[in-house]
Structure 1
Amino acid sequence: MGKTAVCPGSFDPVTLGHLDIIGRGASVFDRVIVAVLNNRSKQPLFSVEERVALIRETTAHLPNVEVDSFDGLLIDYVKQKKANAIIKGLRAVSDFEYELQMASINRKLDEDVETFFMMTNNHYSYLSSSIVKELAKYDASVSDLVPASVEQALLRKFRS
């Protein structure tokens, strides 16, 4: 069956930092499922369907990457997909504290699923979807932070 990893997140929107982690994960695992979280307690800029479409477009060059969405517990989704691992990108020590808690509870719920932490490329250590949205909202250029298709989608959202 090979090694399958789930790379979960909100991806609202997907950034070059996200794509760096996805691409590097795809070079390590046989199959990577990018799983867009449908978090009903948040008000995202992009719908789940829009986020899935943007990620599909920007990962089309990676043949072992699939894009899907889920709600509920990540570990349940991972088991449903028969994945062996979870990939999480870390930008800073503050990310690690939260992600360690999540990895620990996921390990408690299913000890057969490993969590792999990948340090973000230094070029993207400051980058977050929130920063991208804030910049785009005020017409600042985000062309070096997101793929061109995401930049265009942001322009359409904020100009409508």
Structure 2
Amino acid sequence: MVKKVIYPGTFDPLTNGHLDLIMRAAKIFSEIVLAIAANPSKNPLFNLEERVKLATQATQHLSNVTVMGFSDLLVDFARRQHTNLLIRGIRISSDFESEMQLMRINCHLMPNLENIFLFSNESLSYLSSSLIKEVALHGGNVQSFLPPNIAKAVMDRLYP
């Protein structure tokens, strides 16, 4: 295994697709920082502190994964973490286009930044946090899409 890598995202909520990517990356890299972005423009279901707590619980079985929140530029967070490696998940072709756009602006801001793209497991490629929230909002069962602690938190938040 080599290097410390950052896996950034909003993770509202962290899905089984995200968790699969984290577990696969944990076999490749010596340290994974799951960097949860505040991203208030996305109107998250959970605040940053809640998302960090839920993700920490869901990844506690992975000894080389640390969950941290951040609210500044990703490149500044990467500099503070003393790494220039990011991993990004690709589910579908449109993900690639948006990730390329993010990669280009981040590389402009931090020229030595490297992006490693990992394709999602085919059986999980349809999962997205926004789609899962929509299903839950309409009373659908989301337990098979989310880690158990997060599925419970989503339902508790929407149906107190």
TM-score normalised by the shorter chain: which range applies?
over 0.9
Following the alignment from structure 2 to structure 1, what is the Cα–Cα distance between the partners of residues 94 and 150? Answer: 27
Query: In the alignment, what sits opposite 1:38?
Result: 38
Following the alignment from structure 1 to structure 2, what is the Cα–Cα distance between the partners of residues 136 and 108? Answer: 38
Q: Describe the superposition over 1:38-85 as per-residue Cα deviations: whole angstroms up to 9, x where unpaired.
A: 013231101111110111001001100000011121111101110130
Q: Describe the superposition over 1:138-158 as per-residue Cα deviations: whole angstroms up to 9, x where unpaired.
A: 221111100111111011111
1:67 aligned to 2:67? yes
Query: In the alignment, what sits opposite 1:9?
Result: 9
Following the alignment from structure 1 to structure 2, what is the Cα–Cα distance between the partners of residues 56 and 149? Answer: 10
CA offset at residue 109 of structure 1? Answer: 2.1
Following the alignment from structure 1 to structure 2, what is the Cα–Cα distance between the partners of residues 97 and 42? Answer: 19
Query: In the alignment, what sits opposite 1:21?
Result: 21
Query: In the alignment, what sits opposite 1:92?
Result: 92
Report SS of the residue matched to 1:28.
Answer: coil
Following the alignment from structure 1 to structure 2, what is the Cα–Cα distance between the partners of residues 113 and 107? Answer: 6
TM-score, structure 2 normalization: 0.95
Counterpart residue type for residue 68 of structure 2 = D
Counterpart residue type for residue 94 of structure 2 = S
How much is the aligned-residue C-alpha RMSD, in angstroms? Answer: 1.1
TM-score, structure 1 normalization: 0.95
Following the alignment from structure 1 to structure 2, what is the Cα–Cα distance between the partners of residues 72 and 154? Answer: 26
Query: In the alignment, what sits opposite 2:132?
Result: 132
Report SS of the residue matched to 1:106.
Answer: helix
Report SS of the residue matched to 2:98.
Answer: helix
Aligned structure 1 segments of 4 or more residues deviating by more than 4 angstroms:
none
Following the alignment from structure 2 to structure 1, what is the Cα–Cα distance between the partners of residues 106 and 49? Answer: 26
Following the alignment from structure 1 to structure 2, what is the Cα–Cα distance between the partners of residues 50 and 146? Answer: 15
Q: Describe the superposition over 1:25-46 as per-residue Cα deviations: whole angstroms up to 9, x where unpaired.
A: 1111111000110013231101
Following the alignment from structure 1 to structure 2, what is the Cα–Cα distance between the partners of residues 30 and 22? Answer: 12
User: For structure 1, which runs of at least 5 residues remain unmatched after alignment?
Assistant: none
User: For structure 2, which runs of at least 5 residues remain unmatched after alignment?
Assistant: none
Following the alignment from structure 1 to structure 2, what is the Cα–Cα distance between the partners of residues 36 and 22? Answer: 13
Counterpart residue type for residue 70 of structure 1 = F
